[in-house]
Amino acid sequence: MLDVLYNVVAQTNSSITNVINANVNPSTMGKWREIGNTTVAAMHIVLVRPTKILIIDRAEKNPAMYPDGRYAYTSEYDLTTGRSRTLNLKTNTFCSAGSFFGNGTLIDSGGAENISGAQAGFQSVRLFNSCDDGSCDWLDFPAYLETARWYNTMVTLPDGRVFNIGGSIKATGANDNLANNPTYEFFPKESNSTKFQFLVDTLPYNLYPAVFVLPGPPDQNWLYISANKKAIIWDYVTQEIVRHLPDIPGGPRMYPITGTIFLLPLHYENNYAAEIVACGGSTGVTPESKTEKDCARLNLARPNSNWTLEPFGDFDTGRLMGDYIHMPDGKILIVNGAGMGFAGWDTGNITNIQHSARLPQKIPLLYDPKAPLGHRFTRMAEAKYVRVYHSTATLIPDGTVFVAGSNPNALVCDTCEYPTEYRIEIFTPPYLLNGTPRPIIRSIAGTTAFNSIIPIQTTYGEIVTISINLDDPIANITAALIHHGFVTHSQHMSARYVSLRIKKQVPIPSGYAVDVILPPHHNIMPPGRHTYIYILNKGTPANTAIEINLERS
């Protein structure tokens, strides 16, 4: 076991709350406020409890420190208290990957060189099980991987295993033959890694490949995988390519010319048809490189379909390094990023800085997949802080968005034009500010003890009754199931949205009892906890989402 060293850093929400952009209309554009400090740079984040965000940086000189004087690079932020608890790692997590096993354990793998007192993390695997009492910490296995991985991708599979793919075996910008790791493996570990020719064919832009579990019948085992401009459907059981998809239009949209690639929400009304969207990215790897101004969209449910293009908002520039967030109402929020350059370290010194990426994009875009072509993006209120390379964002259970990170500096720098950023912002979307009556969760499956350390136990296809307080005689209740994913470098690994069918909505004193039907099987939403039911009234989510544990029968 790891020794447990705690360094609690208090950051009270009330003392630094800062609402900006008072001149915009919050009911249509949302609003921002500052709530606290991550104490370590938020290069990677993941929601590990309904009120806790796990934060992972690389090994560097962060403000958080251990009692023995070493610099910390991982912490747990409590959304309720505004406090950060410093955690322990042995190995460097720089540009690593993560996902959850079906049993709820977080696995993080890969990393970089030994630095700042940390061991090399290239071949490391790290495990984390969340808690509420402050007793949990990392388990770190420094030499578990057969081969080194840096900028790899991980995803939770429908059988509860985790798939790990790609990366490089050493530090690099764009990948090359000497650094490339064109292999994949599965956890729990069954065999050595296997060569994947697709990652040879897609050099040099194949770091952090995009991977999504595709919906389908229970016996289907398909993944969408894209790198560079190539995309395929791949069977993870037969380990063969099922179909070569059309090349993605525009630039490669992969690290370090990072675009924003996501799986659209899955809806029961159209039998969970899968669509992929790839937005933005850069056109090259120079600071002067322009960004892509369009999005490409592909409907995988249609045979022989091709990508269609649409404008990436109405800005004069495109955007690279944007983070996408599945919102409870089925829309996609895109925050952070830059309008020129590429993903990488800034060079030079404070007085002669050379930004790898410039023109910070502080105005979020809200994407409505169901709106007509050309009318799908809406501008939101502008954020206060620059969020460029190494920024992160995630939805949290109250329906707001947690935004943190940004560190394009090779060394921690508080005085740079684009500083190492520790301040946390919360974006409150318009759906919480438009006056629509908001549901209050009363109980689920007959219990009021939800969002405790033990999630609500459920099975696929189960009908779950959720009781809500709601003062609205003409309520229109909808529901969604969201997995928030592991967030880093514009990747939201395993993030997923599934709409839920409402079987019955019955008035009760002070509100409604709502019967919600969970997804039919594991190919629609993979198993495990860290998956949340969101209840909405006319598009406005309830006061909290409910964590469930989906178990395979």
Condensed to tens digits (0 to 9), the pLDDT of residues 112-159 reads 999 988 999 999 999 999 999 999 999 999 999 999 999 999 999 999
pLDDT digits (tens, 9 = 90+) for 482-536: 999 999 999 999 999 999 999 999 999 999 999 999 999 999 999 999 999 999 9
Q: Is 377 helix (H, G, I), strand (E, B) or coil?
A: strand
Residue bearing tokens 């799986």: 263
Architecture of domain 440-551: Sandwich (2.60)
- For residue 459, the tally of other CB atoms under 10 A from its CB is 13
| Amino acid at position 265, single letter | P
Buried b (16+ CB within 10 A) or exposed e, 285-318: bebebbbbbbbbbbebeeeeeebeebebbebebb
Residue bearing tokens 């000497």: 178
- Provide the token pair at 222: 């398909």
Q: Which of 14-23, 224-233, 372-381 has the lowest mean pLDDT?
A: 14-23
pLDDT digits (tens, 9 = 90+) for 259-303: 999 999 999 999 999 999 999 999 999 999 999 999 999 999 998
Q: What angle do CA 373, 375, 379 make, to 5 degrees?
A: 140
Q: Residue 453: beta bridge partners?
A: none
Using CA atoms, how far apart are residues 550 and 483, in angstroms rounded to an integer? 11
pLDDT recorded at residue 11: 32
Architecture of domain 8-432: 7 Propeller (2.130)
- For residue 375, the tally of other CB atoms under 10 A from its CB is 10
Q: Domain extents for the chain?
A: 8-432, 440-551
Using CA atoms, how far apart are residues 241 and 183, in angstroms rounded to an integer? 15
Q: Is 155 helix (H, G, I), strand (E, B) or coil?
A: strand
Report yes or no: 441 and 546 within 8 Å, Cβ to Cβ.
yes
pLDDT digits (tens, 9 = 90+) for 301-331: 998 999 999 999 988 899 999 999 999 999 9
Q: Which residues, 6+ apart, have CB-to-CB distance to 341 below 8 Å?
A: 282, 286, 287, 288, 289, 320, 355, 356, 357, 358, 359
Q: Where are the beta strands (DSSP E) in 144-259?
A: 153-156, 162-165, 183-187, 194-195, 210-213, 222-227, 230-235, 240-245
Cα dist from 108 to 54, 123, 156, 455, whole Å = 12, 11, 12, 22
This prediction has a pTM of 0.95
Are β-strands 546-551 and 456-459 bridged in parallel, bridged antiparallel, or unpaired? parallel
Using CA atoms, how far apart are residues 120 and 464, in angstroms rounded to an integer? 46
The two domains 8-432 and 440-551 share their CATH topology (first three levels equal): no
What are residue 353's phi and psi, to 5 degrees? -75, 140
Among residues 199, 213, 189, the alpha carbon closest in space to that of 169 is found at: 199
Residue 14 has pLDDT above 90, yes or no: no
Question: What are 16-21's contacts with CB under 8 Å, separation 24+?
Answer: 18/384, 20/381, 20/382, 20/383, 20/384, 21/381, 21/382
Q: Which residues, 6+ apart, have CB-to-CB distance to 112 below 8 Å?
A: 58, 92, 94, 95, 120, 121, 122, 150, 171
- Provide the token pair at 530: 């860290």
Secondary structure of 45-66 as H, E, C letters: EEEEECCEEEEECCCCCCCCEC
Q: Which residues, 6+ apart, have CB-to-CB distance to 7 below 8 Å?
A: 64, 65, 66, 67, 72, 85, 86
Cα dist from 341 to 71, 154, 258, whole Å = 31, 27, 10
